[in-house]
Amino acid sequence: MPELITDLDAIRRLALANRDAFEILRHQLEAMDGLDDAPLDAFVEAVAAPISAAIDCTQCGNCCRSLHVYVTPADAQRLAEGLHVPLDSIETNYIDHETAADEGEWGVLRARPCAFLRGKLCSIYQQRPDSCRRYPQFTPDFRWTLADMINGTALCPIIYHVLSEIVHRVDAGELKEA
Ligand code: SF4
Ligand code: SF4
């Protein structure tokens, strides 16, 4: 795989410049009635795997600076055990339930950038919330979550390069309806 651009200013500019191409992709996929979600998701995962492997998140950390991180009771419990502090202390100091409830979630980490970020590294990597482990998550239902993914192209080099590669392959006719 050729070296991928990871400079965040460059990624922001490229994402803006390619926004129309990403939106066209979204309309193309929504119109492909003969392509089920499962094979589309498999295609997307095959595109995403080498790109995710080629980009070193420890040199970036932009998602940890930029995004809301939703958490579950299990995440809070794991944090309490990992940091050796009482669960109610984790909830009081780090978790906002009110804001999360507006989105139908149990909790969201209070601080943005994340309070556990040290430089570009997660200081609680072993105990990090499940939503951090999954990010960036392309499947299931890539076709129906693509609108949100397009917003992510401006902040995450992995998302930008995965969507760009999918645009390229769809234009090349690699994705076929049954
Ligand atoms: S918990 Fe760790 S991985 Fe998750 S946002 Fe915070 S610093 Fe990033
Ligand atoms: S997931 Fe994306 S935004 Fe987050 S650290 Fe990795 S490349 Fe950067």
Q: What's the mean per-residue pLDDT of the chain? A: 96
Q: What's the one-letter identity of residue 71?
A: V
Indicate the top mutation candidate among 112, 135, 151 to test ligand 2's pocket, ranked by most ligand atoms within 8 A of CB: 135
Instruction: Tell me, in angstroms, the distance from the centre of ligand 1 to residue 10's CA.
Output: 23
Query: Could you report the per-residue pLDDT of 78-99, keeping only the tens digit for each?
Result: 999 999 999 999 999 999 999 9
Q: How far apart are CA 54 and CA 56, in angstroms?
A: 7
pLDDT at 176 > cutoff 90: no
Residue 130 sits at the vertex; the CA angle it makes with 126 and 136, to the nearest 5 degrees, is: 105
Domain ranges of the chain: 8-51+136-171, 68-134
Closest CA to 76 of 57, 100, 103: 100
Instruction: Tell me, in angstroms, the distance from the centre of ligand 1 to residue 169's CA.
Output: 32
Which residue, by CA, sits nearest to atom 8 of ligand 1? 64
- Residue 38 pLDDT level (bands cut at 50, 70, 90): very high
Instruction: Tell me, in angstroms, the distance from the centre of ligand 1 to residue 57's CA.
Output: 11
For the sheet with 95-96, list strands across it. 70-71, 107-109, 95-96
Q: Is 60 in the pocket of ligand 2 (CB under 6 A)?
A: yes
- Quick one: pLDDT at residue 161? 98
Which residue, by CA, sits nearest to atom 5 of ligand 1? 64
Residue 159 in contact with residue 136, Cβ under 8 Å? yes
pLDDT at 2 > cutoff 90: no
Q: Is 90 in the pocket of ligand 1 (CB under 6 A)?
A: no
Q: How far apart are CA 76 and CA 96, in angstroms?
A: 12
Which residue, by CA, sits nearest to atom 6 of ligand 2? 57
Q: Which pTM does this prediction carry?
A: 0.96
pLDDT at 132 > cutoff 90: yes
Instruction: Tell me, in angstroms, the distance from the centre of ligand 2 to residue 88's CA.
Output: 30
- Quick one: pLDDT at residue 109? 97
- Quick one: pLDDT at residue 113? 96
What is the dihedral sign for C-alpha 69, 161, 2, 134? positive
Interacting residues of 161 by C-beta distance below 8 A, sequence separation 6+: 4, 5, 51, 55
Closest CA to 163 of 3, 2, 51: 51
pLDDT at 178 > cutoff 80: no
Residue 37 in contact with residue 72, Cβ under 8 Å? no
Q: Is 149 in the pocket of ligand 1 (CB under 6 A)?
A: no
